[in-house]
Amino acid sequence: MKIMVIIAHPQLNHSRANQTWTHELKKHANIDVRDLYQEYPDWKIDREREQQLLLQYDRIVFQFPFYWYSSPPLLKKWFDDVLTYGWAFGPGGDHLKGKEFIVATTTGGKESEYNSRGYNWFTISELLRPIQSTITKCNGAYLPGFVTYNVNEATDIHLAEEAKKYADHIQTSIRALVQG
């Protein structure tokens, strides 16, 4: 299975968690890692190039810090620019049919803060529903995501363990992810 990880972190060099994840992913030959903020510092996304890249992979992972209950703005722009009517959805928009998508995110908050009684009132899964809806509208298979909570307080050892779990998660078969 060919996997592309699209990292959308506006300050990747300052993120211990996302850097640790990225270093772990680069150890795996079947995973290609891309940094949107490095590739598009001018925010001029090459739609055709991005669409062609999507066609080359079986699974696409969006990696980003959980940012004001959503993704960072360049990833939202990427969705808007790349997942177009007639290509990703609508008449003739079947290019992503059969593609698998995973969201991988980090948050400074504790897992216990993400529930109906917690500080954030909702689970991460509930807060990611707009991305899930986007993927399903585009005929993609939205698979269970991966979250590392409380990254601001995490030790380097914990982040390294989480990075290994993350790499394993995104390489797990669809059957195991859906049944697990």
Distance CA 35, CA 152 (A): 21
Domain hosting residue 70, numbered range: 3-179
**CATH number of residue 91's parent domain:** 3.40.50.360
Distance CA 55, CA 57 (A): 6
Span 110-120, average pLDDT: 71
Kindly tell me if the per-residue pLDDT of 117 is higher than 80: no
* Sign of the alpha-carbon dihedral angle for 61, 2, 26, 164: positive
Kindly tell me if the per-residue pLDDT of 114 is higher than 90: no
Indicate the average pLDDT of the chain.
91
**Structural domains counted in the chain:** 1
Cβ(22)–Cβ(33) below 8 Å:
yes
Cβ(15)–Cβ(65) below 8 Å:
yes
Span 145-162, average pLDDT: 91
Residue 153 carries which DSSP code?
T
Residue 26, token pair as written in the block:
């680069």
Beta strand ranges found along the chain (DSSP E): 3-7, 31-35, 59-65, 100-106, 141-142, 146-148
Residue 107, token pair as written in the block:
């948050």
